[in-house]
Structure 1
Amino acid sequence: MQLTAIRRIYAHTGLQSFVEASGGLFVVGFLVKQGLSPALALASFALVLLSRFALRAAVLPIAHAHGLRTVLLLGCGVRAASFLMLPFVEGMGLLLVAYILVSGLGSVLYWTGYHAYVSAAGDNAALGRQVSIQQATTAAAGIVAPVAGGFLLSGAGPVIGFAVIAAMQLLAGLPLTGAPNPAVPRESRADPAIVSAGRRIYFAEGLQSGCSVVVWNLALFVTLGQSFESFGGALALAGLGAAAGSLIIGRLIDGGRGTYSLALAYGLGAAVLVLKALAWASPLPALIATALGALAAPMLATAMLSPLYAMAQRSQCTLRFNMATEGGWDLGCSSAALVAAALLATDFGYTMPILLGLLAIAGIGWGLTQWYRGERALTA
């Protein structure tokens, strides 16, 4: 079987998903364990995203000189370094500032490079299926990785635990070492109208992710007694039903039923947000909400990323498109984290920050519906 670029991406996605589910999802909770209040932990996460926003201009000269694959692989290396630093962060101080900057740099190199690379390598006619396979791979890793991460951090300790996760982060780059390295012509420019539409959708998606994932995971961690094992077990249990949802939504998109996929994915997403807002304070309802959220998550990601990758291809420069639009995601997610931090600092609890995500879901649904209407008009 030929190891094509898209198959290399699938292999990389599986390994990277293991890193995210065994390490990345634990970061905010770990900062709380290290002495930060939940509000300060969320504010620190927001600063990582804002540093990402500020450092994004560094991506372009690297991509011009060395190609998209190099940007992605460099991001893997810098992110590994950030995991090695994390165990030594103890409360507020210079190490926290250093971690925020290194994590932000690694994250902007990795995610901007990743989305631009997938956009360039993907087949536009089959993007729904290809993205759904990536999301199914993520869901499969999400069954095992959180348990592994929880027991690793509790049993081996944070220094060894995050060192293993850093090694996995480096290993995740291996499938791409022999992959094509798309060049980015210096004269290339992205279509301003498509970029503008994509930026609005990405801002709303960042806001939604901040409310339904970042804030929710912290609420779940606190509700489960700040136990890494319990938190990892909850996420692993939730991952069991996630793969099926992503495959269903991918087939709807490739079959020309994008608007149906939006109604299904974002209708379920809105219902889950309401349930999470009501359930966060008690362990059993919180676990049920987490399981339903895991079913919705890959459906939401596939429904959004498939048209956004198509937008990136249509924009004529996938890197510039992703640089511009992912800045919107950073601002949206950091806004959610900062609003939640302010509400938590004033003892408002997690309900209102989670429900803020309903506004984001409405914004995403409207933006993607406009895109599909425009696509139908072009083919009519």
Structure 2
Amino acid sequence: MAFFRNTTVNLLNLHYGVHALALSGGGAFFAVFLLRAGVPAHGVLASLAAILIGRFFIRPSVLILGKRHGLKPLVIAGTILTALQYPLLAEVNGVGWPLLALCAVSSLGDTFYWTSYHAYFASLGDAEHRGHQVGAREAIAALVGIAAPLLTGWALVTLGPRVAFGATALALALSALPLLKTPNVLVAADAPGALHAAWPGVLMLAADGWTAAGYVFVWQIALFLSLGESFAAFGGAMALAAVAGAITGLLLGRFIDAGHGRRAVWLAAGTMAAALIFRATGYGHPAVAVVANAAGALVNAFYTPTMMTAVYNQAQASPCTLRFHVATEGGWDAGGAAGCLAAAGLLWAGAPLWAAILLSLLGTTAAFALLRRYYGAQASGVAQAPTPVR
């Protein structure tokens, strides 16, 4: 398995595994805890949109600091900052100042972490093994995600939110330790053409962000309500999905690396569309909702490696990986915020949750078209950074 020979990527995946342990624990309960704390469903989605909008405006500062210090310190700092939001989450009680503080801190931490992490992973990974490496990363995340939601659900019920989310914050902080042994990656002071090269990736991640609004955020609310607002049942459903994800995690990376990217796009978009329809029909039916949630493992196996292989390879081929991800993550924020606000507007107007879930089909359709364009150009020998889509 040549893709495991990159020691730096192995350390990055170890970091990501511990990070995913926290996110599949406390992070999975972020939206539903707000709902249980008295924030209405449309208010939860509006809060998530506010976090994404904040990230959009903070993101240019990542480039300024990256040029001065390199990528590694930013990933470590972002990891620590993301941990700070969870003690604040425990203090939310309806709409008020704690919720506003949570949105501000979440915007800051998520901006620094995800922008620098994606640029770092793209810089240090191997293009010829990218699908394998992303698939291995997602399989690790699924594997560690089996116990985390069960433990967090139990802790919320028996020990309270301060202990449960405090443990999440500690795990996030500890996930920075493997990064101490990875190299720094310097950022060029100037990179002509970087924004032009990033434009296809911006569009891909904008479509992905819109898709995530219904597939992830609205769905978590729908699943929680379908399970009678039980933290324990919600954690069990997440654990079952993680088991399915661990089984399928490495399935598609090898397929992409073997040169089957165009066929992978059909599988990726098809499984995402099917999962969205399944989740929409499963709302309100506990057993069906649990199965629909577990079926998301196929999305992790097919959709995520297909999307992120394209994005990471374009980033590595661009004049500057950090500038590329500043732009593309901004695209994800814009798409995700727009999707959350559209879903919030539907719910505020009295529409059912299943309608808000199905909004994500628009993003899936756009992602399919963009990924087909990318992998088609790749198969034809066109450069990694194609002409921007108009």
Provide the TM-score with structure 1 as the length reference.
0.97
Check whether the contact 2:72–2:183 (CA below 8 A) recurs between aligned residues.
Answer: yes
Identity %: 36
Residue 370 (structure 1) aligned with residue 378 (structure 2): no
Aligned match of 1:293? 296
**TM-aligned CA deviation for residue 309 of structure 1:** 0.2
Aligned-partner SS, 1:83:
helix
Check whether the contact 2:132–2:253 (CA below 8 A) recurs between aligned residues.
Answer: yes
The range that moved more, 227-236 or 298-307, is 298-307
Aligned match of 2:149? 146
> Quick one: which of 239, 242, 245 aligns to 1:239?
242
Provide the TM-score with structure 2 as the length reference.
0.94
Residue 133 (structure 1) aligned with residue 144 (structure 2): no
Rounded to whole Å, the distance in 1 between the matches of 2:192 and 2:227 is: 48
Rounded to whole Å, the distance in 2 between the matches of 1:373 and 1:68 is: 32
Residue 178 (structure 1) aligned with residue 218 (structure 2): no
Aligned match of 2:50? 47
After superposition, the CA RMSD in angstroms is 1.6
Rounded to whole Å, the distance in 2 between the matches of 1:28 and 1:19 is: 15
CA-to-partner distance for each residue in 1:226-252, whole Å, 9 max, x for gaps?
Answer: 111110100101111213433121011
Aligned-partner SS, 2:380:
helix
Aligned-partner SS, 2:185:
coil
The range that moved more, 182-191 or 332-341, is 182-191
> Quick one: which of 160, 168, 171 aligns to 2:171?
168
Structure 1 ranges of 4+ moved more than 4 A:
none
Check whether the contact 1:246–1:302 (CA below 8 A) recurs between aligned residues.
Answer: no
Aligned match of 1:198? 201
Rounded to whole Å, the distance in 2 between the matches of 1:379 and 1:219 is: 43
Aligned-partner SS, 1:177:
helix
For 1:45, give the aligned amino acid: L
> Quick one: which of 281, 284, 291 aligns to 2:284?
281
Residue 271 (structure 1) aligned with residue 274 (structure 2): yes
Change (3 A) 1:40 1:201: same
Check whether the contact 1:128–1:302 (CA below 8 A) recurs between aligned residues.
Answer: yes
**TM-aligned CA deviation for residue 140 of structure 1:** 0.6
Residue 157 (structure 1) aligned with residue 187 (structure 2): no
Rounded to whole Å, the distance in 1 between the matches of 2:216 and 2:292 is: 12
Rounded to whole Å, the distance in 2 between the matches of 1:363 and 1:13 is: 28
CA-to-partner distance for each residue in 1:109-146, whole Å, 9 max, x for gaps?
Answer: 00001100000010011101000000111111221111
> Quick one: which of 206, 219, 232 aligns to 1:229?
232
Count matched residues.
Answer: 380
Rounded to whole Å, the distance in 1 between the matches of 2:124 and 2:9 is: 7
Aligned match of 2:387? none
* Mapping 1:214-363, distance limit 5 Å: 214-363=217-366
What stretches of structure 1 of length at least 5 have no aligned partner?
none
Aligned match of 1:118? 121
The range that moved more, 74-83 or 235-244, is 235-244
